[in-house]
Structure 1
Amino acid sequence: MNDSTLLQLLNARFAAAFTAAGAPGANPVIQPAARPEFGDYQANGAMGAAKQLKKNPRELAQAVIDHVDVSGIADTLEIAGPGFINIKLSDAFLASRANAALADAKLGVPLPAKQTVVVDYSSPNLAKEMHVGHLRSTIIGDALARLLAFLGHDVVRQNHVGDWGTQFGMLTAYLVEQDRAGNTAIALDDLENFYRAAKVRFDADPAFADTAREYVVKLQGGDAQVRALWQQFLDVSLSHCEAIYRKLGVQLTRADVRGESAYNDDLPRVVADLRQQGLLVEDQGAQVVFLDEFKNKEGEPAAYIVQKQDGGYLYSTSDLATLRYRSGTLHCNRSLYVVDARQGLHFQQLFTLGRKAGYVPADMQLEHVAFGTMMGEDGRPFKTRSGDTVKLVELLDEAVSRAHALVSEKNPDLDEATRQQVAQAVGIGAVKYADLSKHRTSDYVFSWDSMLSFEGNTAPYLQYACTRIAGVFRKAGELAVDAPIAITEPAEHALALELARFADVVNATAAEALPHFLCGYLYQLATQFMRFYEACPILKSEGTVLASRLQLAKLTGKTLETGLGLLGIEALEAM
């Protein structure tokens, strides 16, 4: 296994050289070269350092070259333009990295210092079935949790479901009515219709509405009968969610559920604590913290309400209690909230107040992993033709159905059981990858044709690359002998270079919580493999060349499969 990533190694060597060249503390600014003719990497730090030192940047770059130790790493170093240092890595060095990665279960990815990381994702409202609005949080959160676990962190998955509040009094009251009529099982079979019917009763019948409010009080007070009915509703709701998670291949279980209700007992303590610290004031009957950090145009501080006039609490209160729990009980180092970008201001205020109140230490990272909206091809938020919200289960079923038709058309010789398996992997993978491959903060257009395409930056393209590599080994048969990778051809060099970048991409994706970094890398790797496949015939070569190219193909296959796995997408051996 490698002790450091490629970027870490180059940064360390060039940082030492900048110090020796009279520019201590200078950032070497190591980046992949913009074009292959410039080499493999560039050290671009000489211009900034020279400006500070009032030196000639090309002269400083030459001094860095004179002092840098890249023996056994780079073949050539050249100064270009105003002081860029072009770095051409040696074939032998790239071969050694590839051989080390092939022998390592983590493919050469060094493990950072272990942290406890909470990933808060999916978090559906249990009053209704999951719809497309829950898709992005669920997919992005799952990918980040997988990635952080791969890096050796203790990952705590938290499904902060909406399972509390006034609507649950309404639903429980309606459940009692249905129970008396013997309709409970039928009523709960379709959560959407159940919710609509309960809402109609609530809006139309004042007596029912009063009963529903009484149930809220009983629920919050811990009434055993009402709690049992509420739990029955939650169990059915969660079983709907779990069916979606299984279909999506998402690593969320019942044990990961910690909803709003889990913090109910702590809410009065949060309010009392904020009052004791002098942070809380009464304003028009409500209990409010005014945050000077968020002033409006008139210079008035933002009001963060923690208790309503009627004594009720808000999700802003339960979110504060959640912060206390994740810091004080879970002792997490980093907490990621994978939530819609429209909640941005809420999280800024929550994190500011959480630190002010001392609920989180200064070194605990709090991050709102924001994401944009999934749009239809008409440029509006994704809906059914009738304008209704799309149920998530229906969208996933359609993805698998479309993939089945596509697979049947492309490979009619596959037996039906295999077609179903491939359709599941391709359909679900396509939906996930279409989301993860876009910058998460941007809105994106949901298009069946583009996401299921076998060309371009799509899951089917990457899955096909995996099947092509698997096909090489099926044809190779007994020719597939173990021998070290040796690089002599430009296409081999380019592929080995891309493989050597895997660890840096994994690190960057985890650090920035941006899955599209990994998606872009996998697409580049698959594309580079196709070029290698065309330029360097594998099975037509012989001896050590054959063995080496097979090993390069093997490492590429392992890296693609691992990368797709980190995104929650299944690699395939046949399509």
Structure 2
Amino acid sequence: MSIEELLAARLRPAFDQVAGGTADPAVRRSQHADYQADGALALARGLGRAPREVAAEVVARADLAGLADLEVVGPGFINITVHTSAVHSLLLKLYADSRHGVPTVAAPQTVLVDYSGPNVAKEMHVGHLRSTVIGDAIVRLLEFQGHHVTRANHLGDWGTPFGMLIEHLVDVGEQEAAHELSVGDLTGFYQAARRKFDGDPDFKRRAQLRVVALQSGDETTRRLWRLLVDESEKYFLSVYSTLDVTLSAADFQGESTYNDELADVVDELSALGLLRESDGALCAFPDGFTGRDGAPMPVIVRKEDGGYNYSATDLAALRRRCRAYERAVYVVGTPQKQHFAMVFAVGVAAGWVQPGQVEHIAFGSILGPDGKMLKTRAGDSVKLSALLDEAVSRAAALAPTPDVAHSVGIGAVKYADLSSDRVKDYVFAWDRALSLTGDSGAYLQYAYARIQSLLAKGGAVEPAFSLDVPSERALALQLLGFPSAVTAAATALQPHRLAGYLHGLATAYSAFYEECPVLRAPTAEIRAGRLGLADLTGRVLTLGLSLLGIRTPTPL
């Protein structure tokens, strides 16, 4: 139980007595006291009474003996000052717990998280960064809570483009194609195939026939398709390894996985009366979705030519997932918001989706310093591998070893993304991402490294904490907020809440370090107490950053 939850639990009986029912104390951190309970204002509105009067009655009824002192201030806020002895006791519990106070959920769920999702035979670009790192942080947070999480990397590995890709593979030869793909030149391979498809009528005809062969199960065509997929997956895994994310080969779930289920999805939706013909195609028209002209918007499930598109694949995936998992989370960019809303609505109408079972975790774009979409100087999408290589190269100026440079560089890129509210666009700038001051991954890693250097000089650390100086107390209270920060980030699927907490922790530690001599403390007891605060801060930073997928190297 976090300190906020403990305070709320101790206050709740008094609030309930005044309310004559249930009432939320609404406890939060405050600049005017350790914590503040704002619940009296809402309770007063419901009772038709003066807020200060309600707050005073709550304080009179509350029993926080041995924990905190209460004071009514302003229009009806209740300031809470936690007893120093209680802070010390709570810190000891946090220190002794390997989870540092973060509880596991009482009822773990089976959860599928769909994220990353690159396309076969295409480079991963900077646009894939957000889905990959946000999804990976969400997975880590949910697993830490105790949920049973399945990662799903929904590869674009099926459809009409593979006719031209396979035919181009045949033209250049299997060995040459495998080499070209293995060195990561997926964009070059795809562009060469597209040029031939657009400019050579004979190649276009052969590519179209190859699509038919692929879909009909032709053995040779399927083998060549598998070569494309295998080589692309090797490239994706190399990027994931560099990025320090937890996706593995076992997590690939391409569009092709659902190919044999598409006809059955159409049959089931048709039997339920959810499909009708429109311009030769079979479409679903979920309620509540209309175009600018007011006409219902379709989800095309089967095309006029009898083929299937990505909507059909997404419906098949949705059906399978809702039958196998209690919850499915889709980490996909905001531009796909309406698409998934419509697909989910069809799933609800079909009876596949239960309330709260599926959720689209949308996110904004990465912008350059000019406020526009991040591009190369030539105007192309930035390759993700190139961005990561540059991050490590730039970080080498701050790091004594290649391993530390990797940790700092990759951590800078991931923190810049995860510290931003995922629903918003954010500006990426190298100077800010790698700054040793301000809100950056390098700043947090530097704080951790300074702690380790201090502990190495300080010797053995005992679980003791000095809390007499204001900056010591401020750091202690920030440490006690860790369980709430993790729970909030995991519950809302918003990693930036944890990132913001960790930045606040590093800032509190910096103030403590500047104001409170540790190795030269006035007494051995104070020295031990300050070393204890530093040690616990380092531990919390390590765990918190690991939940975001960021390493804590030492030393910098």
Is 1:79 the equivalent of 2:60? no
The equivalent residue for 2:13 is 16
The equivalent residue for 1:403 is 395
Which residue, out of 2, 15, 29, partners 1:5? 2
Q: In the aligned structure 2, how far is the partner of 1:574 from the partner of 1:162?
A: 41
Is 1:347 the equivalent of 2:362? no
Cα distance, 1:446 vs. partner? 1.6
The equivalent residue for 1:94 is 87
Q: In the aligned structure 2, how far is the partner of 1:561 from the partner of 1:187?
A: 40
The alignment of Structure 1 onto Structure 2 pairs a total of residues equal to 552
Cα distance, 1:361 vs. partner? 2.2
The equivalent residue for 1:558 is 539
Give the alignment of 1:231-250 within 5 angstroms: 231-250=226-245
Amino acid corresponding to residue 562 of structure 1 in structure 2 = L
Amino acid corresponding to residue 49 of structure 1 in structure 2 = L
Q: Match of 2:422, SS?
A: coil
Q: Which runs of 5+ in 1 are unaligned?
A: 408-413
Is 1:544 the equivalent of 2:525? yes
Query: Normalising by structure 2, what TM-score?
Result: 0.96
Which residue, out of 346, 369, 375, partners 1:383? 375
Residues 178 and 227 in structure 2, CA contact (< 8 A), matched pair in contact too? no
Residues 104 and 145 in structure 2, CA contact (< 8 A), matched pair in contact too? yes
Q: In the aligned structure 2, how far is the partner of 1:289 from the partner of 1:95?
A: 61
The equivalent residue for 1:315 is 310
Q: In the aligned structure 2, how far is the partner of 1:557 from the partner of 1:483?
A: 14
Cα distance, 1:81 vs. partner? 1.4
Amino acid corresponding to residue 62 of structure 1 in structure 2 = A
Cα distance, 1:186 vs. partner? 4.1
The equivalent residue for 2:355 is 362
Residues 374 and 444 in structure 1, CA contact (< 8 A), matched pair in contact too? yes
Amino acid corresponding to residue 525 of structure 1 in structure 2 = L
Is 1:261 the equivalent of 2:256? yes
The equivalent residue for 1:522 is 502
Amino acid corresponding to residue 561 of structure 1 in structure 2 = T
The equivalent residue for 2:105 is 112
Q: In the aligned structure 2, how far is the partner of 1:461 from the partner of 1:495?
A: 17
Give the alignment of 1:89-168 within 5 angstroms: 89-113=82-106, 114-168=108-162
Residues 404 and 554 in structure 2, CA contact (< 8 A), matched pair in contact too? no
Q: In the aligned structure 2, how far is the partner of 1:281 from the partner of 1:354?
A: 16
Could you tell which deviates more after superposition, 461-470 or 65-74? 65-74
In the TM superposition, what whole-angstrom CA distance separates every residue of 1:422-443 from its partner, at most 9, and x where no partner exists?
2111111111111111111111
In the TM superposition, what whole-angstrom CA distance separates every residue of 1:97-121 from its partner, at most 9, and x where no partner exists?
2111111111111111312221111
In the TM superposition, what whole-angstrom CA distance separates every residue of 1:199-230 from its partner, at most 9, and x where no partner exists?
11111222222221222222222222211111
Q: In the aligned structure 1, how far is the partner of 2:19 from the partner of 2:548?
A: 44
Query: Normalising by structure 1, what TM-score?
Result: 0.93
Residues 100 and 108 in structure 1, CA contact (< 8 A), matched pair in contact too? yes
Is 1:46 the equivalent of 2:40? yes
Q: In the aligned structure 2, how far is the partner of 1:378 from the partner of 1:52?
A: 49
Which residue, out of 196, 201, 204, partners 1:201? 196
In the TM superposition, what whole-angstrom CA distance separates every residue of 1:138-171 from its partner, at most 9, and x where no partner exists?
1111111111111111111110010000011111
Cα distance, 1:390 vs. partner? 1.6
Q: In the aligned structure 1, how far is the partner of 2:36 from the partner of 2:20?
A: 18
The equivalent residue for 2:366 is 374
Q: In the aligned structure 1, how far is the partner of 2:102 from the partner of 2:177?
A: 52
Residues 452 and 460 in structure 1, CA contact (< 8 A), matched pair in contact too? yes
Cα distance, 1:40 vs. partner? 1.4
The equivalent residue for 1:287 is 282
Residues 114 and 329 in structure 2, CA contact (< 8 A), matched pair in contact too? yes
The equivalent residue for 1:410 is none
Question: Cα–Cα, structure 1 residues 72 and 221, in superposed 2: closer, same or farther, change >3 Å?
Answer: farther
Amino acid corresponding to residue 173 of structure 1 in structure 2 = E
Which residue, out of 20, 25, 32, partners 2:22? 25
The equivalent residue for 1:411 is none
The equivalent residue for 1:56 is 50
In the TM superposition, what whole-angstrom CA distance separates every residue of 1:18-70 from its partner, at most 9, and x where no partner exists?
1112342222222211x1xx211111111221122112221111111122222
Q: Match of 1:360, SS?
A: coil
Residues 130 and 241 in structure 1, CA contact (< 8 A), matched pair in contact too? yes
Q: Match of 2:375, SS?
A: coil
Cα distance, 1:16 vs. partner? 1.9
Is 1:467 the equivalent of 2:433? no
Q: In the aligned structure 2, how far is the partner of 1:98 from the partner of 1:63?
A: 31
Q: In the aligned structure 2, how far is the partner of 1:292 from the partner of 1:184?
A: 47
Amino acid corresponding to residue 228 of structure 1 in structure 2 = R
Cα distance, 1:481 vs. partner? 4.0
Percent of residue pairs identical: 49
Residues 164 and 204 in structure 2, CA contact (< 8 A), matched pair in contact too? yes
Amino acid corresponding to residue 388 of structure 1 in structure 2 = D
Could you tell which deviates more after superposition, 18-27 or 555-564? 18-27
Residues 178 and 231 in structure 2, CA contact (< 8 A), matched pair in contact too? no
Residues 92 and 463 in structure 2, CA contact (< 8 A), matched pair in contact too? no
Cα distance, 1:269 vs. partner? 0.8
Instruction: State the Cα RMSD in Å.
Output: 1.6
In the TM superposition, what whole-angstrom CA distance separates every residue of 1:79-103 from its partner, at most 9, and x where no partner exists?
1111111111111112112111111
Q: Which runs of 5+ in 2 are unaligned?
A: none
The equivalent residue for 1:252 is 247
Cα distance, 1:534 vs. partner? 2.2
